[in-house]
Amino acid sequence: MVDRASAVTDSTCSRARGVPGGVFIAWRRLSRRTLLLSGELGLETFFVPGSPPYLRAAWTTWRYLVTRKPPVVFVQLPQGPLLAEVVEVSRRAGLKVVADVHTGFIYPTSLKGYALNRPFHTYLRRVDLVLAHNVLQADLVKRRAGVPSERVVLVYDPVPRIPEGTRSPRLDDVDLGRSVVLPASWAVDEPLDYITREFLESEVSRDHVLVITGSWRRNKKLYRKLREVVRKGRAEDRVILTGYLPDEEYYHLIRHCKAIVAVSSREYTLPHVLWEAVAAERLFITLRTETLLAEVGRDYPCSFTMREGSLREVLEYCLDKEYRKAFDLAKVKAGELKLKSKRTLESLVEKLSEILQPRT
């Protein structure tokens, strides 16, 4: 997931509609999904940066909850201690709790992630609603955490609203209309070196440029591997690393590029970048995980595997040989995804109305 909200500190957002007085709490890292959901539902956003053991975050959150007593509290997982604290405080104060489950909480891929999150799965059975991001993840929440089906709500990311007032990034001699953009968080589930190597071995690299965004300082080991691929390919003019871009430049880039690579190798993950590609109405290229196949469809031609040569073939087909056909199909898929997002948000609002109804 690409986090474009890392600069936000403890703050509040407007409470325009949906859940008056409600709050969305996040620790350590505030995701773009949380910001978008907060905006759609009119929730206040309460963010506490920091790292384990989260002592400051726990104290700050406790003080906020007992002082403000919001009627409903959304929590951004995977921070298990946040979930436990909010459940315990809310039980005493009579507050409703909604858990937004990111993949790392329910499906950790490291021993550290397992140790930090697995002990807190039981708390999911004590909240009022659990939000899942895609169909396969919803099934996983039910199976792995034992949450009853009636309390699991599938809620896709809200489609971002790209502002009109964007600004072109300073990319010397880059024709954005011939660029393939790879928005990166530089996380371990993004095979950036593989994608770069496949791009450079494809025919499209002769007249296209691969633009990789995001701060490489988050993963210096991967950065060094990537730089070595670029050096061996003598491709400094064909692979551009932008570093972090402010929103107005980032949105300009994805709105005017030829294609966007929306990728995560982790199952049960629907990359937020996919929703940005939908918003920008660009052709998107994805990795063929079971999650993406379930959501986008097996008939979508612009998806690749990690097999050598797979992405190269997809790039040549979708960006050159059958670009118009692929672009038109991507627009159809984008329309379907927009409708999915809209319907699940409407369903969430209905569920919230039900749990917030005063008991007679």
pLDDT in tens, 45-63: 999 998 888 999 999 999 9
**Amino acid type, 282:** R
Tokens coding 256: 């005017």
Which pTM does this prediction carry? 0.91
Q: Which residue has the higher pLDDT, 269 or 19?
A: 269
**What percent of the chain stands above pLDDT 70?**
94
Three-state DSSP at 313 gives: helix
- Taking the C-alpha atoms of residue 30 and residue 32, their distance in angstroms, rounded to an integer, is 7
- Residues 199-222, mean pLDDT to the nearest whole number: 96
Three-state DSSP at 276 gives: helix
The pLDDT value recorded for residue 2 is 43
Tokens coding 286: 């994805």
The pLDDT value recorded for residue 17 is 54
Helix intervals (H) in 71-209: 80-93, 103-106, 111-117, 135-145, 192-201
Architecture of domain 23-155: 3-Layer(aba) Sandwich (3.40)
Q: Which residue has the higher pLDDT, 251 or 173?
A: 251
- Taking the C-alpha atoms of residue 266 and residue 103, their distance in angstroms, rounded to an integer, is 9
- Taking the C-alpha atoms of residue 270 and residue 351, their distance in angstroms, rounded to an integer, is 23
The pLDDT value recorded for residue 76 is 98
Q: Which residue has the higher pLDDT, 179 or 112?
A: 179
- Taking the C-alpha atoms of residue 173 and residue 150, their distance in angstroms, rounded to an integer, is 54
Q: Which residue has the higher pLDDT, 9 or 91?
A: 91
Relative orientation angle of helices 192-201 and 220-232, to the nearest 10 degrees: 10
Q: Which residue has the higher pLDDT, 318 or 358?
A: 318
CA distances to 5, 217, 316 from 1, in Å = 11, 16, 26
The pLDDT value recorded for residue 12 is 32
pLDDT digits 0-9 by tens, 69-112: 999 999 999 999 999 999 999 999 999 999 999 999 999 888 88
Peptide bond into 53 cis (omega under 30): yes
Domain locations along the chain: 23-155, 176-336
The pLDDT value recorded for residue 9 is 33
The pLDDT value recorded for residue 42 is 95
The angle formed by the CA atoms of residues 68, 69 and 70, to the nearest 5 degrees, is 95
pLDDT digits 0-9 by tens, 115-172: 888 899 999 999 999 999 999 999 999 999 999 999 999 999 999 999 888 999 988 7
Reported in sequence order, the residue ranges of 34-80 that DSSP labels E, i.e. its strands, are: 44-48, 72-77
- Taking the C-alpha atoms of residue 147 and residue 260, their distance in angstroms, rounded to an integer, is 35
Mean pLDDT of the chain: 92
Q: Do domains 23-155 and 176-336 have the same CATH topology?
A: yes
Over 90: is that where the pLDDT of 315 sits? yes
- At 113, the pLDDT band (50, 70, 90 cuts) reads confident
CATH number of 176-336: 3.40.50.2000
pLDDT digits 0-9 by tens, 258-281: 999 999 999 999 999 999 999 999
- Taking the C-alpha atoms of residue 87 and residue 105, their distance in angstroms, rounded to an integer, is 16
Over 60: is that where the pLDDT of 11 sits? no
